[in-house]
Amino acid sequence: MKSTALKKQSNDFYTLNPPISTKPDIYVVIPAYNESKTIKDVLEELKDKNLKIIVIDDGSSDETYEIAEDSIINSYNESIYRHVLNRGLGAALKTGIEAAIAKEADIIVTFDADGQHDPEDIIKVCKPITEGKADFVIGTRDFSKMPASKKFGNNVMNIITRVFYGIHVNDSQSGLRAFNIKAAQVLDIHSRGYGVSSEIIGEIKNHDLKIEEVPIKTIYTDYSMSKGTGLNIGLKILFKLIMNVIRKVF
Amino acid sequence: MIFQIYQILGTLIGIIAIVLSLWRFKEGKMTLGMLSFWILIWAAVIIISIYPESTNLFASITGIGRGLDFILILGLIGSYYLVFKMYTMIESMEQEITQLVRELALQRENLKENVEKSNNSLK
C-alpha cells in the first residue's frame, strides 16, 4: 500500500515524501562472498531485530551458502539468493535490491556480511527515511578511528566520487546504506565491483533524490580489516571509471 | 630480386594469418565482415613486405618522413584501437553474464518459495 503511494508521489516532483507512519517493511540486503567465518553471527544478530533478510551469496567457494541456509528458520522473512558465478559486490547488491523490490519492501538497507556493522545502526539509518527527510541514507563511519591505510583509501575514493559524480559525501564507500523504495527503483547501476558504492551515490544525485548521512559504529576485527577499500581497490576503481569515460566518448 | 629476411617473415606471417582467418570463418567462429577486414589487413602486410617502396607513396601524401614509419604509426594506432574494442566487447559480455547469473539466482529462489508454498497448502 505504502509503496504505491510513494510510486505515485515520485511523479510529483515538488511534494515532500510523506513520513512512513505505520511499521515499514525493512529488508536488509546482505551481499556475501566467502564470509563463512562471519555470516552465521551476522544473521543471528539480525534475526533478533525482527527484520526481513535477503542474503546474496556471490558465488562463494567456501561454505557461505550452506551456513546461511542452515541459520534460516523462517523462510518467509529470510531468503538466500545464490549467484552461480562470482560477479562482484555491485552485481550482488543489484540482485538483492531487485529481490527486495519484488517483495514489496518499503525500505532497503544494505549491510556487510563481514561483521563490521552494528545491527543497532540499521534503525538509525532508516530513521531519516521513515521521517520523510531523505530518500537515501549513508551510514558514515568515523574516519578518525580507521587505520591509516584504510583512511587514505577511503579519502581517495571520496575525491574520486566527487570528481566523477560531482557530489561530496563524507563516506562514499560505506556498506551500510538505506534506500526508500523510490530511490531503489530509479537505481540503474552497472559496476560489478567495489565501484558500485560511488556509482550509487552518483545515481541518487542524478535523480535529484535527497541524501542524508548518519554516523554509525564500525567494529574493527582483524578479519574485517583484511577486506574492503584499501589503496589497491581504489586504483582499480579509478581505472574502471576512466575507461568508462573513454568508452562514452567513442 | 633478393628478398630480405623481414620480407620473407612478413609474407609468411601474412599467409598463415589469412589461412587461420579462413579456417575460423569456415568453423563459424568469424563473421564474413571480420573475415574480409582481416584479409585486407594481412594482404596489405604481405604487399608491403614484398614491395616496401610502395609505402613511400603514403609517406609523400601524409608528409611523414619514411614510408615504413607511416605504416608503423598506423599499425600502432590500429592495434590500440583493437585492444580498446576488445576491452569494450569483453566488458559488455561480462555484463551479460552478470545478468544471466542474477536471473538464475532470482528464479531459483522464487521456485523454491513456490514449492514451499504449495507444500504448505497441501498440508
Lookup: cell for A145? 578511528
Lookup: cell for A195? 565501484
Nearest CA to A231 among A120, A142, A149? A149
- Alpha carbon of B52: minimum distance to chain A alpha carbons (Å): 33
CA atoms lying within 13 Å on the CB side of residue A87? 33
User: CATH number for the domain including A106?
Assistant: 3.90.550.10
Instruction: Look up the pTM and report it.
Output: 0.75
Chain-chain contact of B101 with A80 (C-beta, under 8 angstroms): no
d(C-alpha A82, C-alpha B82), whole Å = 36
What is residue A48's predicted lDDT score, i.e. its pLDDT?
78
Residue A205 lies in a domain: yes
Residue A16 lies in a domain: no
Residue A15 lies in a domain: no
Mean pLDDT of B102-123: 85
Residue A14 lies in a domain: no
Interface test with B, best of A87, A104, A191 (most B CBs within 10 A): A87
Element (H, E) at A131: none
Mean pLDDT of B36-56: 88
CB B41 within 8 A of CB B62: no
The SS3 call for residue A56 is: strand
Backbone angles phi, psi at B20, to 5 degrees: -60, -40
The SS3 call for residue A110 is: strand
Q: In which domain, by residue range, is A140 found?
A: 2-6+24-249
Give yes or no for A56 touching B (CB within 8 A). yes
Could you read off the pLDDT of A159-184 as tens digits, one per residue? 888 888 889 999 999 999 999 999 99
Q: Which residues in chain A have their CB less than 8 angstroms from residue B92's CB?
A: none
Residue A52 lies in a domain: yes
Residue A151 lies in a domain: yes
Inform me whether the pLDDT recorded for B96 exceeds 80.
yes
The SS3 call for residue A60 is: coil
> What separation in angstroms does the CA of A215 have from each of A197, A203, A219?
17, 22, 13
What parts of chain A have a pLDDT lower than 50?
1-16
Number of domains in chain A: 1
Give yes or no for A82 touching B (CB within 8 A). yes
